[in-house]
Structure formats: C-alpha cells, structure tokens
Amino acid sequence: MAFNGKLALNALVKYSLGLFFVSLLLFLPAGSIEYAGAWLFIALLFVPMLIMGVAVFILSPQLLERRLKSKESRGTQKGVVALSGVIFLVGFVVAGLDFRFGWSAVQPSVRIAASLLFLLSYTLYGEVMRENEWLSRTIGVSKGQKVVSTGLYGIVRHPMYFATILLFLSIPLILGSWWSFAAFLLYIPAIVVRTLDEERQLLQELDGYKEYCSRIRWRILPFVW
C-alpha cells in the first residue's frame, strides 16, 4: 500500500494541535508547569494515542481517515459536539485553577485507580476500532456499511460510548480535581442525546440495524441503559 502523505500530515497536525491546546488549557490556569496531574494525564493520553494512530495508519488508513473527520451534518450532533467542547474547556480550566488554589484534593489511591481505568478504557477504545471498520467520529452511514454484532458489539450497541464515558470521567480524577469531575459529569447526558439521535438515523438508513437492536437490548451500559 502506497504511503499516504496527506493523511499522515493531517493526523500529525491534529495530534500536535491537540497536545498544544490541552497543555495550554491545563498549565495556564494552573499558573505552573509543576502540575504533576497534568503531566500524568498528558502522558496517559498522548503516548497511547500516538501508538494507536501509527498502528491504524499502517493497518487501516481508511479508518484513520474517517476518525479524523469531525464536521457533523445533523443539527442535534452539532449541538452535542459544541456542548462537549464546552465541557472539556470548562473541565480542564477548572482542574488547573483547582491545582492553583487548592479547592479540592483527590487521594493518591483514587488517582492511581483513575489512571488504570483510563488505560483500560483506552484498551476498550482500541478494541472497538479493531472490531468496527466503519467507525467514524461523525454520525452517518457509509456505502456498503454492515451491522457489526460481534465482540463488544454483542454486549452493547455502542461500546465506543461506554469506553469514552469511562475515559472522560477518569480524566478529572487523574488531574486531581473533584470540581472538574462535576463538570465532566455533564458529558453523560450529552452522550445520551447523541446516542438516541444516532440510533434514529441508523434505524432509517442501515440495513439490519432494527433486527440488531431487537437482539442487543442495551445501548451503552448492560442492565442499565
């Protein structure tokens, strides 16, 4: 397979911008680069992201290309993406301010547990990407797309959202801020809205999805929803 320089450059630019803005949103409010929780989170996020990105680029560049697309076409999804951006912005800034002014304290054992949960969630995230070649950041049905019903998709209909909820709720605990955790809790209703809107489209446009829903009852969390 020929080397796709444009895709590699696009991925590298987005990776670098992500690293820059996350660092800015954490260290600037913290008023110090001695924010250990921020360094831990950056390492936990961006080192596996780089490894996963290189692996996907080599093994499935089409999947990487879909994952890099971020422009939604549906109004509901645009609103969810905008709200998620605000949640991240507020959550990171609050965590930095919490470090600076000492508003709350997260026990080291909780930070360690959150770090392990983050890595576990990242592993689930990678497994979902391996199982579903149609996975995209934006909501839509691709030409020739098939229903994936094996692996994690045989347990819940949206394992990616389950993984991201675990990821996002562990972030503020790694950063050491209970106030930031309160902000990140808003991600749960946002993902519920995204899921319901996505399913409406999939039921209309993806052959076999209605039958899949009848077999797999739970959307995100088994025995809950």
Distance CA 81, CA 59 (A): 28
pLDDT higher at 143 or 7: 7
Is residue 143 pLDDT above 90, yes or no?
A: no
Distance CA 30, CA 28 (A): 5
User: CA dihedral defined by 75, 216, 169, 183, rounded to 10 degrees?
Assistant: 40
Is residue 198 pLDDT above 90, yes or no?
A: no
Query: To the nearest whole number, what is the mean pLDDT of the chain?
Result: 88
Predicted local confidence at residue 118, as pLDDT: 95
Across 177-207, b (16+ Cβ under 10 Å) vs e yields: bbebbebbebbeebbbebbebbbebbeeebe
Predicted local confidence at residue 28, as pLDDT: 97
Count other C-beta atoms under 10 Å from residue 53's C-beta. 19
Residues, the chain:
225
Structure confidence by residue, pLDDT tens digits, 35-70: 999 999 999 999 988 888 888 788 777 777 766 665
Distance CA 144, CA 148 (A): 12
pLDDT higher at 6 or 171: 171
The 3-class secondary structure across 32-93, one letter per residue, is CCCCHHHHHHHHHHHHHHHHHHHHHHHHCHHHHHHHHCCCCCCHHHHHHHHHHHHHHHHHHH
Predicted local confidence at residue 47, as pLDDT: 92
pLDDT confidence band for 4 (50 / 70 / 90): confident
* Nearest residue to 176 via CA among 40, 69, 79: 40
Predicted local confidence at residue 115, as pLDDT: 97
Ordered by start, the domain boundaries in the chain are 5-135+142-215
Structure confidence by residue, pLDDT tens digits, 146-181: 888 888 999 999 999 999 999 999 999 999 999 999
CA 1 centroid distance within chain: 29
User: CA dihedral defined by 110, 111, 116, 118, rounded to 10 degrees?
Assistant: 110
Structure confidence by residue, pLDDT tens digits, 72-129: 666 677 888 888 889 999 999 999 999 999 999 999 999 999 999 999 998 898 888 8
Predicted local confidence at residue 94, as pLDDT: 97
Is residue 218 pLDDT above 80, yes or no?
A: yes
pLDDT higher at 119 or 9: 119
